[in-house]
Amino acid sequence: MSAAPAYWARTFPDDGWQVTTLSQDGRPVTAAKGLVVHPEHSYETVPPLQVLIYPGGRGTRDHLRDEAQLDWVRRQREVVPLMASVCTGSLVYARAGLLTGRPATTHWASLDLLRDLDPMLEIRRDDRFVDDGDIIASAGVSAGIDMALRLVARLHRTERARQVRRGIQYYPQPPV
């Protein structure tokens, strides 16, 4: 995920949004590059969510085989109004059956796996993110920033998303 939602919530608290992190048991999670995330909640203690952003990374492969995790994702779909994923987080949504008949994307190197997990979904290979109403899927890492800014625009307004983009100094014009 990107810093955009956290920046938004912290910089514009009157907008009424908070960002929280969670893990299954509330214990720290080590990301693929070694960053350790210290969640604020476990699945048991997390307050009701309005948006769930499922991250990608190596850990998603284990989630594809973890029926308890997939059941948790399915239960969230029943109560969380807006579900989003970054990178390979969409693989978990596909495996849980949330993307059947819907458009979606993921990291370019996992597009074939996404198709294999659910042949009934519509792969959007060239889209940085796909907003299908109550589910949004983004492609690889920086595409998660694009998706997060889309969330800010949807949940508040476009001008706020522009302010957040400026605040995090995100100007998607590659230097090379």
Catalytic residue positions?
A: 87
Q: How far is CA 5 from CA 53, 91, 105, 141, 176, in A?
A: 10, 22, 21, 15, 27
Spatial CA neighbour of 83 closest among 132, 47, 116, 127: 132
**Rounded distance, CA 13 to CA 122, Å?**
37
